[in-house]
A and B are shown apart, each in its own frame.
Chain A
Amino acid sequence: SAVISQKPSRDICQRGTSLTIQCQVDSQVTMMFWYRQQPGQSLTLIATANQGSEATYESGFVIDKFPISRPNLTFSTLTVSNMSPEDSSIYLCSVRGQIGATNEKLFFGSGTQLSVL
């Protein structure tokens, strides 16, 4: 499976500021996703990060709030903009479809624990 490095691992931020989370994979992958896991909840898909084009957002998530970049097949960023305490959550990068592999399994990075004061 791919090795997925995500940083920062945790951060405490002030209301109104923005935080950019980075996700680096050790091999090229076809698909990268960003999930959110709020306290005591399951995973909710925020968006699919598309290489070289705008991300595809799920219902309830918008680009102005969660801008995403994916400049190549191994790297993506998620920005949480104009944060409020409701954005306190774990944000998870996930990847699927390693180039040259035949599986469609989804693997997760270690996550970013975000607390907004």
Chain B
Amino acid sequence: QKEVEQNSGPLSVPEGAIASLNCTYSDRVSQSFFWYRQYSGKSPELIMSIYSNGDKEDGRFTAQLNKASQYVSLLIRDSQPSDSATYLCAVNTNGNKLVFGAGTILRVKS
């Protein structure tokens, strides 16, 4: 079992819709969770971090964490074509290392 799993997609949503990206992880002791956005040919850019169960909102982005289910998600409201990118889920493991999922490709159609 991979440490961090994501659906590779592509996930296609119409402009203005909510995009829902999901991630599961295997290490129960993980405490920190991150979402990165990566445009083609660019390096990953941190967009959200979450440490506690529940929701965390930042503008159009909401991160959701459920440690009991070992599940973290990212919601993007009012999706825009500029949100089209690969979204990487990252989980902090023992030793302060981040383990990344394979990423989900999001396509927002105008």
Residues of chain A touching chain B, judged by Cβ–Cβ distance below 8 Å, are 1, 31, 33, 41-45, 48, 90, 92, 96, 104-111
Contacts and interface: CB of A to CB of B under 8 A. Distances in A.
A92 B103 CA distance: 16
A45 B99 contact: yes
Contacts of B88: 42-43
Interface in B68-110: 88, 90, 92, 96-103
Could you tell me the dominant secondary structure of chain A's interface residues? strand
A33 B95 CA distance: 12
A107 B44 CA distance: 8
Contacts of B90: 106
Contacts of B96: 31, 96, 104
A60 to B, nearest CB: 14
Interface string B49-81: 100000000000000000000000000000000
